[in-house]
Amino acid sequence: MTSEITDHQNIEMRKAVPQITVETFFIKSLGLQIEKYDPDEVTVMLPFREELTNDGTHYHGGVIAAAMDTAGAMAAFSNHDFNKGHNASTISLTINYVGVAKKSNLICEATTKKRGKELIFTEVTAYDSEARVVAHAIQTYRIA
């Protein structure tokens, strides 16, 4: 039988999420940086690197998706009650690519829109360095 996590422990666990995230193997290889980590609002930045592109100029769509998925997951965890669990996964990620990030950093802003018993719904918008929209995503994330 597990004991209840205290409010202080919940806060400390939420605070640990950014560091844990950027140290995971794949995210570390991307070089994703946390710009903002507030309850239900997260901003991450992916510095431009030629090896993350299709052609030396434009990001590969999978790289954009990975950055957006990570930002959404962090938004889901940013105000999570760990008494409800800590095992997590993306259930759904729908992305509309509406622009390109041409030799530009990629900035992803994620907001939690609704929290259910296990499902958390987030929206993520990716921008280039000039604040032009590159992609918009709706994510369903599960923490149980």
pLDDT in tens, 5-34: 999 999 999 999 999 999 999 999 999 999
Quote the pTM value: 0.94
Res. 50: pLDDT tops 90: yes
Residue 128, domain member (yes or no): yes
Residue 86, domain member (yes or no): yes
Please count the other Cβ atoms lying within 10 Å of the Cβ belonging to residue 60: 13
d(CA 72, CA 67): 9
Res. 84: pLDDT tops 90: yes
Residue 2, domain member (yes or no): no
Residue 97, domain member (yes or no): yes
Give the pLDDT mean for 35-45: 98
Helix, strand, or coil (residue 57): coil
Write down the pLDDT at residue 1.
45
Write down the pLDDT at residue 2.
61
d(CA 65, CA 83): 29
d(CA 4, CA 8): 11
What residues make up the domain containing 99? Answer: 7-143
Angle in degrees, 0-180, between the axes of helices 61-77 and 7-23, rounded to the nearest 10: 170
Residue 1, domain member (yes or no): no
- In this structure, what DSSP letter does residue 136 have? E
pLDDT in tens, 99-142: 999 999 999 999 999 999 999 999 999 999 999 999 999 999 99
Here the CATH number for the domain that contains residue 71 is: 3.10.129.10
Q: What are the structure tokens assigned to 112, written together?
A: 């939690």
Q: In sequence order, what are the residues at sequence separation of 6 or more whose Cβ sits closer than 8 angstroms to the Cβ of residue 8?
A: none
Which of 129, 144, 137 is closest to 59 using CA atoms? 129
Q: In sequence order, what are the residues at sequence separation of 6 or more whose Cβ sits closer than 8 angstroms to the Cβ of residue 75?
A: 40, 41, 42, 110, 111, 112, 120, 122, 124
As for how many domains the chain has, the answer is 1
Write down the pLDDT at residue 3.
76
